[in-house]
Amino acid sequence: MTMRLLHTSDWHLGRSFHRENLHDAQRAFLDHLVAVAEAERVDAVLVAGDVYDRALPGLDAVALFDDVLVRLAALGVPTVFISGNHDSARRLGVGSRLIDRAGIHLRTDPDGCAVPVLLADEHGPVAVYGLPYLEPALVRERFGLERGGHDRVLGAAMDAVRADLAGREPGTRAVVLAHAFVTGGQPSDSERDITVGGVASVPLPVFDGVHYAALGHLHGCQTLSPRVRYSGSPLAYSFSEADHRKSLWLVDLAADGSVEAERIDCPVPRPLARLRGTLDRLLTDPALDRHADAWVQATLTDTVRPADPMERLRARFPHTLQLLFEPEGAVEDGAGSYAARVSGRSDREVVEGFVAHVRPGRTLDEREQRWLLEGLEAVRRDAAEREQETVR
């Protein structure tokens, strides 16, 4: 027998998809999650952050979360949640000490990184450590750090985990939940940028010493090593995820700490399609019939913008949500919407691009780059502190 874990993350309850309401799709996913937990007789559910899409979730999103907590508790399945960078840690953690008694463990306080949820099977104890999203500017002092970014603070948290584990019964298996951008992971367009605060990514070896690391933040399911995996989001939240296979990880943790993992597919509310070509081709090509029921992003390559393109596209593809124009043969002249030109770029890249535009031929020197990072970090820190103040 093994310890069986169900790893998920990045629910983003309350989020829409290009203004399409996803409430029913998120409810269907949570139904699926509970059904899988029961059918597979899992020993614990691990939710690696971004439960909500925003710090102040709407009532419908809160109702979904409340319902799934009740259902998991009724199954008697211990569930460990951590807060992500989209969540308000303080709000998500309200009532955590009481909810612990029902087997629902909300880990949102950085001070509790080295305090595990203790599970057990016939082979002995399993210590599950929940590391909430650690914003460097807000948690450095807690870990005794004067400087450093995500790599330093997560490294300090993992040092505390390893120190606690060293004092436990020999043979104790260790599982960690973390919400971070780990080197080697592949991002999509729908994750919020966390590059401010020093080094953006953390190295894979930071998780050395534990038997399984259940990661959240990146929306694509991916394996960084047999012991370190992202579950990805259960639903697509951008067209960049059109080719994603949305799933859960069903993880078996053996007596010797070895890991086997299987992907369990999530329900798909509607497929995504990214179509490119002239409007005439998109309207007539029979090969595109299979996308008639998909959510569609259409990129038109006509040299002259056609009349009423969205209306005409929706006659064939009723669920067309996004229309882009990239004329074939056009010379890039810097025109186009500001949103299109900065799409997918981090805050730092946007500012550096602006400086390059107004000061051509001269890049930022080392001192200016330091000022830029300090300024961006100050903005992020102030925003995070204001968020905390609204909770008090």
SS3 content of the chain, % helix, strand, coil (to 5): 35, 25, 40
pLDDT in tens, 279-326: 999 999 999 999 999 999 999 999 999 999 999 999 999 999 999 999
Q: Which helix (H) or strand (E) holds 211?
A: none
Number of alpha helices (DSSP H) and beta strands (DSSP E) in the chain: 11, 17
Instruction: Find how far residue 220's CA is from the centre of its chain.
Output: 8
- Other beta carbons less than 10 A from residue 99's beta carbon: 17
What gap in Å lies between CA 76 and CA 70, rounded to an integer? 10
3-state secondary structure of 71: helix
336: its two tokens: 């186009």
207: its two tokens: 């998780």
Amino acid of residue 275: L
pLDDT in tens, 18-45: 999 999 999 999 999 999 999 999 999 9
Q: Which of 195, 191, 116, 125 is nearest to 157 (CA)?
A: 116
Point out the residues of the chain with pLDDT beneath 50: 196-198, 335, 391-392
Tell me what pLDDT residue 201 has: 85
133 contacts 93 by C-beta, under 8 angstroms: no
Tell me what pLDDT residue 198 has: 46
CA atoms within 13 A on the CB side of 188: 21
3-state secondary structure of 175: strand
Q: Which residues contact residue 115 at a Cβ distance below 8 angstroms, ignoring those fewer than 6 apart?
A: 129, 164
Tell me what pLDDT residue 254 has: 97
179 contacts 50 by C-beta, under 8 angstroms: yes
Tell me what pLDDT residue 349 has: 67
What gap in Å lies between CA 83 and CA 130, rounded to an integer? 9
E strand spans, 222-341: 222-225, 228-230, 247-253, 259-265, 272-277, 295-300, 320-325
Tell me what pLDDT residue 387 has: 53
Q: Which of 303, 305, 205, 212 is nearest to 254 (CA)?
A: 212
What gap in Å lies between CA 246 and CA 339, rounded to an integer? 28
Q: Which of 226, 152, 186, 179 is nearest to 48 (CA)?
A: 179
E strand spans, 266-333: 272-277, 295-300, 320-325
6 contacts 211 by C-beta, under 8 angstroms: no
Q: Which of 307, 331, 310, 334 is nearest to 321 (CA)?
A: 310
CA atoms within 13 A on the CB side of 376: 22
Range 108-116 contact pairs with CB under 8 angstroms and sequence separation of 24 or more: 108/81, 108/82, 108/83, 108/132, 110/134, 110/139, 110/142, 110/143, 110/157, 111/142, 113/157, 113/160, 113/161, 114/157, 114/160, 114/161, 114/163, 114/164, 115/164, 116/164, 116/174
